[in-house]
Amino acid sequence: MQTVMFLVFGVASLGLLPTGAANAATNINVAGYIFPPFIVNQSNGLTLDLISALNAVQNEFTFKFNLTTPLRRYRDLKTGHADMVFFEMPEWGWRDRSISYSVTRKIIGGGEVYVARARPDRGQDWFKNIKDRKIAAFAGYHYGFAGFNTDARWLKRNFDISLSRSHEANIRLVLNGRADLAVVTKSWLASHFVRNPGLQQQLMVSNQPDQIYSLKALIRSGCGLSIEKLEVLFDKLKKSGELVRLFNKHGLGDQMAW
């Protein structure tokens, strides 16, 4: 019996037997909502590619994606249903809620612009009176012209606005005259022009943005992942060239701030 116990102890000490918690990766649930090109759908977007890259570069954490909605993401982080979100700004409603989280340094820039149908009698001055225009916007998004208020009822009381869940649908509203302008992300618009090269001549894009992005990652306090550890992983991906490759894949290479 002593010989058997010695053999078992010796094998375990060499790491040849599983040791439970010592080998178990910490699950990190990443919440995200439709926000092209960061999240195009449940299986496509920069966030999904970034999660795969983070899982490939280490084995201490297992990053998993959970599709949510713009409004529900706050509750997900507060209740622990989610541990982190990528490509956020604290100004987007996070400071107004009793949620304990930490924030990485800036990952990417960019912003949002106004887009209208191009006409010979229109110039950049046409974008000055946003409140007087019929606006097409993405439901749940925070907009500078509205003071970052996302409440649909408030928006409809204060603006002539239609809300959808598709930038492409909002552009169609502009082109068919049902909206005066749409508010879209610069990154989505650039990629949309690449896919539809003739469209650029049909639209006028504002020089002045609705807002400027300083997008970061938010991590729920106590989830097991620290800002320092995540930033080390980002640095590894940057050093290997994988981070740049992923940003370029989604047309965001020129907005990368890491």
d(CA 96, CA 101): 13
Three-state secondary-structure class, residue 18: coil
Which domains occur in the chain, in start order?
24-109+213-255 (3.40.190.10), 111-211 (3.40.190.10)
Task: List CB contacts of 234: < 8 A, sequence separation 6 or more.
Answer: 104, 107, 243, 258
The token duo for 142 is 């925070």
Residue ranges of the chain whose pLDDT lies below 50: 1-21
d(CA 203, CA 55): 40
Identify the sign of the CA torsion 84, 86, 88, 93.
negative
Three-state secondary-structure class, residue 248: helix
Q: What is the pLDDT of residue 14?
A: 45
Q: What is the pLDDT of residue 205?
A: 97
Q: What is the pLDDT of residue 19?
A: 47
d(CA 94, CA 221): 14
Is pTM beyond 0.85 here?
Answer: no
Q: What is the pLDDT of residue 194?
A: 81
Q: What is the pLDDT of residue 157?
A: 97
Q: What is the pLDDT of residue 39?
A: 94
d(CA 235, CA 193): 31
